[in-house]
């Protein structure tokens, strides 16, 4: 199994045994009996797309789990504090009851006031009695409030624990689904002849070259473009990661998935981004390709399952897919959905020298995870 796809599957087999995650995905129907090169490529892309959906969903579930774990800990701590306050309130109510019992007499307190020989003393006693009554009322009110708060927090704590268990179970299921998809990729590639693998690689290269040529020929990327100061910093970070392996759900520093790379690159520039490519697409301001500048995020596929950083000159830096390494690829290597800008208020630099690329920065597979035969150029024209 020589060639790029052989290297991909070998590395993927190792990756599957140590990492993974995901969610079941609904993909376009694929004819598994189609053994033509085009049919095989479509099937491989579909499997990769389903795996990438799983990976992005895993990242989202992992982030939600971390937030839920923190919420569970906070609620548990509040419940413990509320129970302690309730215990103190009960102790205080008990002391008050004992004091009242010990100070009781056969005469009514009001009768005692009437029979008091000293009027001033009677008034003082009346004030003391009123203060004692207010104190008792306050203790009772505090005790009732503490009981209600403890009950509410106990309910919230149970719900938080249930939610955490649900997230744990869902994450496990997503991981198993993704592992199954990659094992299917492994089986499919292992069944192909050397000639079929070579033709698949050639078809991938030809499709990428054609889409990139059409995109550049459209003039959408013409003109000098510079990043903002933050965008330049994000790019420098991303370029320093070139050559590091793709890994499901990884956020660095040694391995990344596609959105983990974009998130950490912009974190290095002082900007917090959502964790998944779908969230980045949904929440960040969108920009047309005609205004695309280095540092912007380029999002791919109809369901936004892949993301890259625009380097300039029609190139992107990204973590392509399992078995691949972070690299530089043509912008049109995958079907374009659109672009977003993490710092819309950032002013472009007057001058910009792109970061120097390491040797072999463009080596390896360019494609992310496609579930269809749609071309990047076609997606661009549709926009």
- Name the percent of the chain in helix, strand, coil, to the closest 5: 60, 10, 30
Query: In this predicted structure, what is the pLDDT of residue 379?
Result: 33
Give me the residue label for tokens 């030809």: 206
Examine the pLDDT at 330 and tell me if it is beyond 70.
Answer: yes
Please enumerate in sequence order all residues whose Cβ is within 8 A of that of 65, keeping only pairs 6 or more positions apart, or say none. 164, 167, 168, 171
Mean per-residue pLDDT over the chain, rounded: 74
Mean pLDDT in residue range 256-285: 95
Give the residue from 347, 348, 310 showing the smallest Cα distance to 331. Answer: 310
Task: Give kind and range of the element (H or E) at residue 119.
Answer: helix 119-190
- Mean pLDDT value of segment 316-328: 91
Record the tokens describing residue 248, joined without a space: 């499901």
**What is the pTM assigned to this prediction?**
0.60
Task: State residue 281 phi and psi, 5-degree precision.
Answer: -65, -40
**Whether the predicted pLDDT of 63 surpasses 60:** yes
- Report whether pLDDT(295) > 80: yes
In angstroms, rounded to a whole number, what is the distance separating the alpha carbons of residues 86 and 80? Answer: 10
- 179-217 pLDDT, tens digit per residue, is 777 777 778 777 778 887 778 777 777 888 888 888 888
Q: Using the predicted structure, report yes or no on whether residue 341 has a pLDDT greater than 90.
A: yes
Domains detected in the chain: 220-382 (3.90.1720.10)
What is the DSSP secondary structure assignment for residue 192, as one 8-state letter?
S
Quote the tokens at residue 86: 């309730």
Considering all CA atoms of the chain, what is the largest pairwise distance in Å, rounded to the nearest integer?
118
Return the higher-pLDDT residue of 37 and 317.
317
- CB atoms near residue 41 (< 10 Å): 20
Angle between helices 119-190 and 4-18 (to 10 degrees): 140
Active site residues: 258, 306, 318
Two tokens, residue 7:
């290297």
For 362-380, what is each residue's pLDDT tens digit? Answer: 988 776 543 333 333 233 3
Q: What are 117-166's pLDDT values in tens digits? A: 655 555 555 565 556 556 666 656 666 666 677 776 677 677 767 776 77
pLDDT at 345 over 60: yes
Per residue in 236-269, pLDDT (tens digit) is 999 999 999 998 788 989 999 999 999 999 999 9
């Amino acid at each position: 199994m020589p060639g790029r796809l052989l290297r991909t599957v070998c590395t993927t087999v190792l990756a599957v045994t140590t990492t993974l995650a995901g969610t079941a995905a609904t993909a376009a129907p694929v004819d598994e009996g189609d053994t033509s090169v085009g049919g095989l490529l479509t099937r491989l892309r579909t499997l990769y797309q389903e795996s990438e959906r799983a990976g992005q969903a895993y990242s989202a579930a992992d982030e939600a789990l971390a937030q839920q774990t923190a919420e569970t800990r906070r609620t548990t701590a509040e419940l413990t504090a509320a129970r302690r306050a309730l215990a103190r309130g009960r102790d205080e109510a008990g002391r008050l009851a004992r004091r009242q019992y010990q100070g009781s007499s056969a005469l009514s307190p009001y009768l005692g006031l009437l029979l008091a020989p000293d009027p001033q003393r009677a008034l003082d006693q009346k004030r003391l009695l009123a203060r004692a009554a207010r104190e008792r009322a306050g203790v009772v009110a505090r005790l009732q409030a503490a009981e209600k708060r403890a009950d509410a927090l106990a309910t919230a704590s149970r719900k938080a624990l249930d939610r955490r268990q649900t997230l744990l179970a869902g994450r496990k299921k997503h991981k198993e689904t993704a592992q199954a998809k990659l094992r299917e990729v492994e089986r499919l590639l292992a069944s192909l002849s050397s000639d079929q693998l070579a033709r698949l690689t050639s078809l991938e290269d030809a499709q990428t070259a054609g889409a990139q040529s059409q995109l550049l020929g459209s003039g959408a990327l013409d003109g000098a473009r510079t990043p903002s100061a933050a965008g330049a910093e994000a790019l420098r970070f991303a370029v320093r990661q070139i050559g590091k392996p793709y890994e499901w759900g990884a956020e660095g520093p040694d391995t990344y998935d596609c959105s983990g790379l974009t998130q950490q690159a912009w974190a290095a520039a002082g900007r917090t981004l959502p964790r998944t490519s779908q969230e980045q697409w949904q929440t960040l301001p969108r920009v047309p390709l005609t205004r695309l500048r280095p540092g912007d995020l380029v999002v791919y596929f109809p369901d936004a399952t892949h993301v890259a950083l625009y380097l300039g000159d029609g190139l992107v830096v990204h973590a392509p897919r399992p078995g691949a390494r972070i690299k530089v690829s043509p912008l049109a290597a995958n079907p374009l959905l659109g672009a977003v800008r993490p710092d819309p208020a950032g002013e472009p630099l007057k001058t910009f020298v792109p970061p120097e690329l390491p040797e072999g920065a463009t080596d390896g597979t360019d494609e992310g995870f496609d579930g269809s035969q749609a071309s990047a150029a076609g997606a661009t024209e549709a926009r």
